[in-house]
Structure 1
Amino acid sequence: MTETTKKFRRRAEARPDEVLDAALAVFVEKGFAAAKVEEIARQAGVSKGLVYLYFPSKEALLEGIVRRALAPIADEAVNRLAHFDGDPRDAITMLLTTICLQLSDPARLAIPKVVISEVVRFPAIASMYRREVIDKVRPALATLLARGVAAGHLRPIDPEMAIRSVIGPLVVHIALFALFDVDSEAGLDMPRLLESHLDILFHGISAVTP
């Protein structure tokens, strides 16, 4: 194999990621509905036909973005929660800290911002995001909370409903920032949110010490 052939192969292998990077940039700038495949191709420096070769639709592009960036995080979270043994508050702290660290990266934050902005007009986006992220983490988190109740770490709570209290404030925080421009000058300030959220959450679900 010649050096030119090797370079061409490496370039071909990198192209799907380059297209996804371009798609995310265009989705953030234009919005999912207004974005055009021609603009994504131009941003990536490839032809429109090449974009369609890898991704047959804008929905497929967004799904590719989610699968590349967020699905692995969800899979890792599920694995950690499933094998965690001890006080579930430690696991929750670990999980939410990881999420907050990931969302501190503007490139990763852009993905839930696009999803939250477009789910009303494009229900298929919500279904895809639920399938690739939410439906993976939710059962593992509910099981963790149930084990915490059984072990006496947590007071009797409804694990399925309590999940909303664990994850909900992060979703609302991002929505306020992305959709309503709340706290835009200070930015997301995820560490401040995490400290406040864990304090309120743990005071709500922790078992009362006699």
Structure 2
Amino acid sequence: MPDASASSPSPPPARRARRPSPARTARTREAILAAALDIFLERGFAATRMADVAARAGLGKGTLYLHFADKAALFEGVLQAAVGAPLAGLAGAAPASDEPVREALRRLLGPVLREMETSRRAAVIRLVLAEAGRFPEVAAMYRRIVITPGLAAIRALAARAAARGELRDAALLRHPQLLVAPVVLAVLWNGYFAEGDVMDPEAAFAAQLDLLFLP
């Protein structure tokens, strides 16, 4: 009797599922974050739904959950992209060896401050301030992503400026929040109170540098 096994064709090898390319994954994530930013700013944190973000991005809800486990993770992604990533870039850009800290701050922060509104970074900050009281997780992620690294960078720059005799007094060493206080004021003023009297964040920041640093 002939050997059936010898004449039977071998089963085809199992096909491996193709994974999306890194570039496609990055594009999908960018589309999700752009849609999420739109909806968070339109509706606030509480009223935003994952299904609506997926629909705005033109994706299935399952695809959205492959990238972000829940709404808090999605909001954290938006916050990281809008505010955390630019801040990290600035924190890693140290002044040149002979550059005064005051001039380095104007050089590094000027472009960011000029686009606070057009980039919608200011709108994201206003949203955080509006929602942080009701949602402690929003306040906690903003502190982790923005406040803690930001204050660490300011303290390091203030110490450098103090060592070089560039500060008017020790106020910035005691209260590093003073450096960005006029920027926060401009964000709030322009969002809620301006009525045509718009406050320039870059000009306000420059005025604060005049108060904190020696000429």
TM-score w.r.t. the length of structure 1 is 0.80
Q: Please name the residue that 1:205 is paired with.
A: 212
Q: How does 1:5-154 map to 2 (within 5 A)?
A: 11-81=24-94, 85-154=98-167
RMSD over equivalenced CA pairs, Å = 2.7
Do the aligned residues in 2 keep the contact of 1:84 with 1:91 (CA within 8 Å)?
no
Which amino acid is 1:198 matched to? A
User: More deviation in 26-35 or 141-150?
Assistant: 141-150
User: More deviation in 6-15 or 100-109?
Assistant: 6-15
Larger relative CO (CA 8 A, sep 6+): 1 or 2?
1
Q: State the shift of 1:127 in Å.
A: 1.5
Which amino acid is 2:211 matched to? G
Q: State the shift of 1:63 in Å.
A: 0.9
Asked if residue 164 in structure 1 is aligned to residue 171 in structure 2, the reply is no
Which runs of 5 or more structure 2 residues have no equivalent in the other structure?
1-17
Instruction: For 2:193 and 2:155, locate their aligned partners in 1 and report how far apart those are by CA, in whole Å.
Output: 31
Higher helix fraction: Structure 1 or Structure 2? 1
Relative to 1, partners in 2 of residues 1:26 and 1:177: Cα closer, same or farther, differing over 3 Å?
A: same
Do the aligned residues in 1 keep the contact of 2:90 with 2:109 (CA within 8 Å)?
no
Instruction: For 2:176 and 2:158, locate their aligned partners in 1 and report how far apart those are by CA, in whole Å.
Output: 8
Q: State the shift of 1:58 in Å.
A: 1.0
TM-score w.r.t. the length of structure 2 is 0.78
Which runs of 5 or more structure 1 residues have no equivalent in the other structure?
none
Relative to 1, partners in 2 of residues 1:58 and 1:135: Cα closer, same or farther, differing over 3 Å?
A: same
Do the aligned residues in 2 keep the contact of 1:77 with 1:137 (CA within 8 Å)?
no
Instruction: For 1:165 and 1:185, locate their aligned partners in 2 and report how far apart those are by CA, in whole Å.
Output: 26
Q: Please name the residue that 1:183 is paired with.
A: 194
Q: State the shift of 1:97 in Å.
A: 1.0
SS in structure 1 opposite 2:69? coil
SS in structure 2 opposite 1:204? helix
Do the aligned residues in 2 keep the contact of 1:176 with 1:182 (CA within 8 Å)?
yes
SS in structure 1 opposite 2:47? coil
Q: State the shift of 1:188 in Å.
A: 5.5
Larger Rg: 2
